Amino acid sequence: MIVLAGDIGGTKTLLTLARVEGTGVEPLVERRYPSGEWPEFAPLLADFLARLADAGQPEPAAACLGVAGPVGGEKVKVTNLPWVLDPVALARQAGAPVRLINDFSAVAHGIAALAPEDLHTLQPGEPRPRGVRAVIGAGTGLGHAILAPRSGGGHTVLGSELGHADFAPADERQADLWRWLRARHGRASWEHVVSGPGLGAIYHWLVESGARPGAALARAAAEGDPAAAVSAAAGHDPVAQEALALFVHAYGAQAGNLALACIPRGGLYVAGGIAPRLIGALSGGGFTAAFRAKGPMTGLMERIPVHVVLNPKVGLLGAALAAGRGD
């Protein structure tokens, strides 16, 4: 089946024309667009469709777009962009049915299309291929999804907003962070800690609590993205190391909470833009220790496979699979 798939975000938009067979996705044409250079999505799509026609490519039979933003009504507003996507109007333009799904749901769909080299295993566990799967991913926010197995094969993706659940500190140090976050936001959620902005917040809390970062880290955090500055300085700056260690522990703890909710013996997958850049930190033991630390359920947690998703186009693959299945 020939499908059109997209991964639409505030920074970039990826579009592909692909052939889908089962869980296999073969890209035929792929193009990246800077989202901010287009006033609306429709002219961007028109450009891509024109390029397909000029290249003599086949027309898609269906389309699916993974969109950064809440998906629930007939139209979808893209987060951090003025774009409003109307699937009915887009279907007329594309000449095929268009489905809109949340971008993290697209990531969850894409798990089925990954090859072994697309994964880095943190815990092999005791996998059950037909078991429930779960996906968690820190980026601008903190996404969660559950993949429930179907009797006829494949999985149904169940979205979640668990990132907005209340953050539960694991010790007195994290309790201090919780109080600091609550004073600023009125409450403290997991997304306030386990996300790009969350890593930056951990750094600022440490500094306000008396930690003294090196001059290079302090300058980089003040002039740019604090999370990126912490990641870059983690090899030599003690404050960056402490911030990253707390972040990784909280990430593992919340991944464990998601696993307790659905028992994903088919695997828990750590996706999102941050994880591949922190493979060293995630592999250091803190993540899996926090993941397993669930009291009487520790033995169960040790049997759950845990993998980091390395393929940055997993959302695009998932949108293609969702278009091909139409579910």
Q: Report yes or no: 8 and 68 within 8 Å, Cβ to Cβ.
A: yes
User: Residue 327's pLDDT is what?
Assistant: 60
Domain boundaries defined on the chain: 2-114+311-325, 162-309
Q: Would the annotation count 121 as a binding residue? A: no
Ligand-binding annotation for 285, yes or no, is no
Q: What is the pLDDT of residues 105-132, one digit of tens each?
A: 999 999 999 999 999 999 999 999 899 9
Amino acid 11: pLDDT: 85
Read off the pLDDT of each residue in 207-226 and give the average, rounded to a whole number. Answer: 96
pLDDT at 293 over 80: yes
103 is in an annotated binding site: no
Q: Is 140 annotated as a binding residue?
A: no
**Looking at residue 159, what is its pLDDT?**
86
Percentage of the chain exceeding pLDDT 70: 99
User: Is 143 annotated in some ligand binding site?
Assistant: no
Give the 3-state secondary structure of the chain.
Answer: CEEEEEEECCCEEEEEEEEEECCEEEEEEEEEEEHHHCCCHHHHHHHHHHHHHHCCCCCCCEEEEEECCCCCCCCEECCCCCCEECHHHHHHHHCCCEEEEEHHHHHHHHHHHCCHHHEEEEECCCCCCCCCEEEEEECCCEEEEEEEECCCCCEEEEEECHHHCECCCCCHHHHHHHHHHHHHHCCCEHHHCCCHHHHHHHHHHHHHCCCCCCHHHHHHHHHCCHHHHHHHHCCCCHHHHHHHHHHHHHHHHHHHHHHHHHCCCCEEEEECCCHHHHHHHHCCCHHHHHHHCCHHHHHHHHCCCEEEECCCCHHHHHHHHHHHHCC
pLDDT band at 164 (very low <50, low <70, confident <90, very high): very high
Instruction: Report the pLDDT value the prediction gives residue 140, as an integer from 0 to 100.
Output: 86
Q: For 243-274, what is each residue's pLDDT tens digit?
A: 999 999 999 999 999 999 999 999 999 999 99
User: What does the block give as tokens for 323?
Assistant: 């278009």
pLDDT on residue 326: 67
6 is in an annotated binding site: yes
Fold of 2-114+311-325: Nucleotidyltransferase; domain 5 (3.30.420)
Query: Among 3.40.50.720, 3.30.365.10, 3.40.367.20, 3.40.30.10, what is the CATH number of 162-309?
Result: 3.40.367.20
